[in-house]
Amino acid sequence: MIDALQAIVLIPIIAIVGIFIALLFKGIDRILAARMQARIGPPLSQPFIDVKKLFMKENIVPKNAVKWIFGMMPVVALTASIAVLFYIPLFGFKPLLDGYGDAILVIYLFAIPSLAMVLGGFASSSRYATIGAQREMVTMLSYEFPLAISIIAIAWLVSSTTACSPAFSLGAISIWALVGPLGILGLILLFLVMLFVMPGEVGAIPFDSPEAETEIGGGVLTEYSGRNLGLFYISASVKTIAFAAFIVALFFPGNISNTLFLTGIGAILADALFFLVKIFIIVFIGSTFIRVAIARFRITQVVKVYWGYASFMALFGLLLIAIDLMGVV
C-alpha cells in the first residue's frame, strides 16, 4: 500500500517515463521493421519528431462533429493507457497501486482507449470514421474473447493452487511453477494467444482494419489532426508497452538481481535493464515481427482469426491446465 504523498510524486514520474520509453520503443520498432523489409527506415527520434510536429499543427474540429466528445476522447485514451502502468510491475518494482487493482481491472482499462477511439470516430460525423469505428468495435469484440479466456485461465490456476484470490495481483507469482508438463503446455498456448492478441489490442498490422489508409483513408482517425491526433499517437505507443508489460507480469515476473547476487544500485539497474529487455522481446515478437510478416487482414478475417483459431487455442490451453490440476490434486 502507498500513501497519498507517494502517489502524488510517483504518478507524474511514471507517466513521463512511460511516454518517453513508449516513443523510444516506437522508434526502435520502426527501425527494425524497416531493416526487415530491406529499407533504411526513420531515425530513432522520429516518434518524438512526429509528436512535436503534431502538437505544433492546428487542431481542426469538423463542423458537424459533437465537439465535446470529439475533443475529450484523445485525453481519455491517453489517460487510460497511462493508468494501466500504475497497476503493472515496472523496472523490477511492485506496482504503484499494488493492492488497489488486479489482472481483471487491467483488462477493463485496456478496453477504454479502443472505446475512446470508437466514440471519437462516431462523434466526428465522417462516414470514413464511422466505418472505422464500426470496425474497431468488431475488432475489440473479437480479441476480447480469447484474451478473457487466457486471463480467466491464469486467475483460476493461481486461485486453485495458492492462497491468492482469483483476481490476483500482477507479478506476484511465477505461474510456471504451479503446474506439471500438461499445464506448462497449456500456459505456452495461452502465451501464444496473448502474443497474437497484442497487435489487435494496439491496432497494429495485420489487425489495423479500423485505420486502413488504403481502404477508408485513415478510418476512425480520419478527422483527427494536430494535438488530438498526437494524443492518440502517444496513447497507442503507451498501450503497446503497457500490454507487453502485462504479458511479462503474467508469464515472466521476477528480477535478475537475486540470480546475479547483486545489491544496492547495481541490483536496481540490473532489474530495470532486465525488465526493458523482456519488454523489447515481447514487443518485437508480438508487434514488429507479426506486422512485417503478415499483410493486413480484412475485418471478416480478423473475426475468424480471433473467434476461431485464437479462441480454440485459449480454450485448449485452459483444458490442459484443468487436466493437469486434476492430476496434481
pLDDT tens by residue, the chain, 329 residues: 556 777 788 888 999 999 999 999 999 999 998 998 888 888 999 999 999 999 998 888 888 888 888 889 999 999 999 999 998 888 878 888 877 777 888 888 999 998 998 898 888 888 888 888 888 888 888 888 999 999 888 888 887 777 665 555 666 677 888 888 898 999 999 999 999 888 888 877 777 776 666 665 667 788 888 899 999 999 999 999 999 999 998 898 878 887 887 778 888 888 889 999 999 999 999 888 888 888 777 888 888 888 888 999 999 999 999 898 887 54
**Residue 176 DSSP label:** G
Please work out, in degrees rounded to the nearest 5, the angle formed at the alpha carbon of residue 9 by the alpha carbons of 272 and 273. 5
The whole domain housing 241 covers 4-328
Q: State the pLDDT at residue 291.
A: 82
- Distance from CA of residue 38 to its chain's centroid? 27
Q: State the pLDDT at residue 139.
A: 86
CB 67 within 8 A of CB 124: no
Which positions ≥6 away from 232 have C-beta within 8 Å? 74, 77, 78, 117, 120, 221, 224
Please tell me the chain's helix, strand, coil percentages from 3-state DSSP, rounded to the nearest 5: 75, 0, 25
Question: For 232, how many CA atoms within 13 A lie in the half-sphere containing its CB?
Answer: 26
Q: State the pLDDT at residue 245.
A: 92
Q: Would you call 98 helix, strand, or coil by DSSP?
A: strand
Please work out, in degrees rounded to the nearest 5, the angle formed at the alpha carbon of residue 327 by the alpha carbons of 326 and 329. 65
For 197, other C-beta atoms within 10 Å of its C-beta total 25
CB 210 within 8 A of CB 232: no
Q: Would you call 93 helix, strand, or coil by DSSP?
A: strand
Q: State the pLDDT at residue 329.
A: 47
- Distance from CA of residue 63 to its chain's centroid? 33
Gap between the Cα atoms of 135 and 122, Å rounded: 12
- What's the domain count of the chain? 1
Q: What is the greatest pairwise CA distance in the chain?
A: 64
